[in-house]
Amino acid sequence: MKMVAIAWRYLVARPLAAGLNLLLLTLALGSITFMLLVSTQLDQAFERDLAGIDVVVGAKGSPIQLILAGVFHIDVPPGNISLEAVRELQKDARIAQLIPISLGDTFRGFRIVGTTPAYAEHYAARLAQGTLWSAPMQAVVGNQVAANTGLAVGNSFIGTHGLGASGHEHGDDPYLVTGILAPCGCVLDRLVLTATESVWQVHEKATAVDDEDRKLLEAEREITLVLIRYNSPMAAVTFPRFVNTTTEMQAAAPAVEVTRLLRMVGVGTDVLRGFGAVLLLTAGLSVFIALWNAVRERRADLAMLRMLGAPPARVAGLVLCEALLLAGLAIVLGLAVGHGLAEVAGAWLQSERSLPLTGWIWLPAEWWVVALGLAVAALAAMLPALGAYRLDVTTLLHSRS
């Protein structure tokens, strides 16, 4: 008979205590796993989408809102800026690259982004099929968009006005799909890219009453915001202040704003992490109490093992083995629960056309969850195992009562 088999028998001989401890440990490890998966993937998504964007210039308003709308495409933009002002800005020597972004329409919840091919190049996006757009009203769809809507090269679709759920459809101006992007793991996966001119065309046609009116609108063309890369890091000191004080626009540095955002959100994740830690502590205590009682109840059994010739270390090992067996089960279940929750949250976020999140990944940091589970069990088993080690076998001979 193996030690594991004996420990397992002892464990199932007390189903209520074992089940309760398993539940506590599983919940604790599961919530820690979930936190780990979510925070790591969101950090990665933020980092990837932010890479290479030094500053975002858009309409005045909340800087965080501007970043969320312009870089991550999860909020509405504060407003539009005039094309004229952008052209003026582009002359600035501190700017290495300027990518225009025009928002306004969606297709089944996915944003239609008017931009230049530089935007796709910025994320080093590759085409899975077809080509990039070469004329207005042609569109390239992100991988997730294609998978979700079934759009293929050669299909046409009609954009819906507004970034919300409902709006009127621009029925007169269908887009033609010319390409589908390969998955890039970045924000492009959930966007529809088209030329900036497409967005102008759709809206001018929709609002202009006659040709004269349209000319007027053309003179007042706007875009939503621009993503800017600096020539030198020194520009970070002077450029945002220059934009904020001398123009009608605002400049927001994504790195600064995201740090600010994560600090605000961080309170929430810290609370969750603390919750997980408290849960784990409770689970550890509960395992300790259960083992302590088990060793007390089983004192005679354990003494009998010593009488049968088991060295003290083997008896103590049995107690430790029982705890580790419990922890092993809880680790497997906890990881499954954490990944399952992450997958559920990911599915929900995807239906909201928001950040990418999946349960189908294994992070190296999850080995820490395994180590944590085993460490807590070993720690909880230490005193009971010591008690088993030091057991006075002669009590076996004195139990006259």
* Beta carbon nearer to other proteins, 225 or 302: 302
Q: Which is nearer to other proteins, 7 or 188 (CB)?
A: 7
Q: Which residues from 13-72 bind other proteins, rule CB under 8 A?
A: 13
Q: How far is the CB of 322 from other proteins (least distance, A)?
A: 11
Query: Please, which residue, 9 or 215, has the CB nearer to other proteins?
Result: 9
- Residues 273-302 within binding reach of other proteins (CB under 8 A): 300-301
Q: Which stretch binds other proteins (CB under 8 A): 6-14, 72-80, 208-216, 222-230?
A: 6-14
Please identify, using beta-carbon distances, which residue of 20 and 393 lies nearer to other proteins: 393
Most distant CA atoms of the chain, gap in Å: 111
* Closer residue to other proteins (CB): 263 or 400: 400
- State the number of binding residues for other proteins (CB under 8 A): 28
- Give min distance, CB of 318 to other proteins, in A: 9
Take residue 266 and report the two structure tokens written for it: 């961080």
Q: Whose Cβ is closer to other proteins: residue 351's or residue 395's?
A: 395
Residue 394 interacts with other proteins (CB under 8 A)?
yes
Is residue 393 a contact residue for other proteins (CB under 8 A)?
Answer: yes
Nearer to other proteins, 10 or 242 (CB): 10
In this structure, what is the dihedral angle of CA atoms 220, 162, 194, 249, given to the nearest 10 degrees? 50
Least distance in angstroms from the C-beta of 308 to other proteins: 4
* Span near other proteins by CB under 8 A; candidates 1-9, 91-99, 164-172, 270-278: 1-9
Instruction: Give 374's contacts (C-beta < 8 A, 6+ positions apart).
Output: 324, 327, 328, 331
Q: Please list every residue from 123 through 182 that binds other proteins, using CB under 8 A.
A: none
- The answer to whether residue 396 forms part of the interface with other proteins (CB under 8 A) is yes
73, 190 Cβ separation under 8 angstroms: yes
The footprint of other proteins on residues 87-126 (CB under 8 A) is: none
Cα dihedral 214, 219, 225, 229 sign? positive
Q: With contacts defined by CB under 8 A, name the span among 112-120, 216-224, 268-276, 388-396 that binds other proteins.
A: 388-396
| Smallest distance from other proteins to CB 375, Å | 27
Nearer to other proteins, 59 or 391 (CB): 391
**Taking CB under 8 A as the rule, which mask of x and - marks residues 302-331 in contact with other proteins?**
-xxxxxxxxxx-x-----------------
CA 188 centroid distance within chain: 16
CB 303 to other proteins: min, Å: 8
Going by C-alpha positions, the residue among 180, 177, 143 that lies closest to residue 157 is 177
Contacting residues toward other proteins, per CB under 8 A: 1-3, 6, 9-10, 12-13, 300-301, 303-312, 314, 393-394, 396-400
